[in-house]
Structure 1
């Protein structure tokens, strides 16, 4: 049984269709990478899965239950579907520890003591134990993004969404964040990543999806998509990526 099922999802902005009938299934422990040019619909699709955007047609199911039903509790869904943004989105007035423990305490009603214990375990796991009492502006970009990933993990989500999480980083910091994502894959976390890091997508993904103009034109194993794509638009996109030295 699929962990996540996306059926015929459409999303419109001011008469412009940003997503056009997206169908996708994600199995437990699978890593799916969304690739495509800016504006192809990758980020919008992630935001629809996390209910940050409402869809105009279709349905999204998590563990067999429709989360796009109007009766679904969005906060409960977001407790099971973690999301990490390109720009970190940490609360600047809160310490790292408070950023991480806020959702478990408010959404899952975990006690402060237990939430801090779990946060401490996650910080240790990703090499940030000494940053628990620091404020975000005292951290490097790579450290802030690692904290954002930890914050998303703190609710023990079934699914983790990552939206271009390395694009705002200095190139020297990209490796440390990609290392965290690799560790999460090794631990069995189910993830959907929107990324421009083609080499990383080829290395880490179980399934690669190519989007253009809000349409999922092609998807399959990385070796198929990157070495023998079937759709001419996929071939054209990857040729541009290759010429730019990104693959």
Structure 2
């Protein structure tokens, strides 16, 4: 049984279909990269999986249970997922340690001592042990994004959703965030991520999905999608990305 199953999902905004019949399954420990032009539906799909958006048609199952049923408690579902956005969204009035321990203590009812112990272990693991008492505005962009990823991990999620987590960073800071994602993969974390970093996508993904105008147009291994894409639109997109990098 797949960890996550998306079947026939549609999402409409003001009469426009942003997602059009998306079918996708994600196995435990699999890393799925969503690629495509801005506005293709990548971020909306992640928001639907996290139940931040209500689907207009279709179903989503997590661990075999439908989470798009209107009777499902969305907050309970979100306890099993971590999501990180382009913006870091750290609470500016809280230290890094307090940001990371907030959800374990308040949502998962973990004791403060245990939550702080787990948080410090994660901070040590990802090179931020000396920033526990710092406030977000004292951190670089790369450090803030690493802290945001650690905060999402602190609840020990079944699934991580990462939405263009390097797009707001200076190029010099991208590498340190990508190294965190690389380590998550090595640790067996199941992830769906959207990215414009094609080289990194090719390296880290088990499966690459190309979205075009709300349609999942192509799905395959990184080798297949990047070297021998089946769809003309996939070839056109990859060519445009590579051409832009040469400028």
TM-score category (smaller protein):
over 0.9
Counterpart position of 2:174: 174
Q: Distance in 1 between matches of 2:57 and 2:231?
A: 26
Cα deviation per residue 1:63-120 (whole Å; 9 max; x = unaligned)? 0011111121212211111001101111111111111011111111111111111101
Where does the alignment leave 5 or more consecutive residues of structure 1 unmatched?
none
Q: Give 1:78-97 correspondences, 5 Å limit.
A: 78-97=78-97
SS at match of 2:79: helix
Counterpart position of 2:132: 132
Query: Alpha carbon RMSD of aligned pairs, Å?
Result: 0.8
* Cα contact 1:108–1:155 (8 A) shared by 2: yes
Superposed displacement of residue 245, structure 1: 2.2
Q: Distance in 1 between matches of 2:77 and 2:112?
A: 22
**In the alignment, is residue 219 of structure 1 matched against residue 206 of structure 2?**
no
Counterpart position of 1:105: 105
* Cα contact 1:75–1:107 (8 A) shared by 2: no
Where does the alignment leave 5 or more consecutive residues of structure 2 unmatched?
none
Q: More displaced, 71-80 or 89-98?
A: 71-80
Q: Distance in 1 between matches of 2:154 and 2:75?
A: 14
Q: Distance in 2 between matches of 1:94 and 1:16?
A: 39
Q: Distance in 2 between matches of 1:209 and 1:169?
A: 24
Superposed displacement of residue 43, structure 1: 0.3
Q: Distance in 2 between matches of 1:93 and 1:45?
A: 31
SS at match of 2:114: helix
Superposed displacement of residue 137, structure 1: 0.4
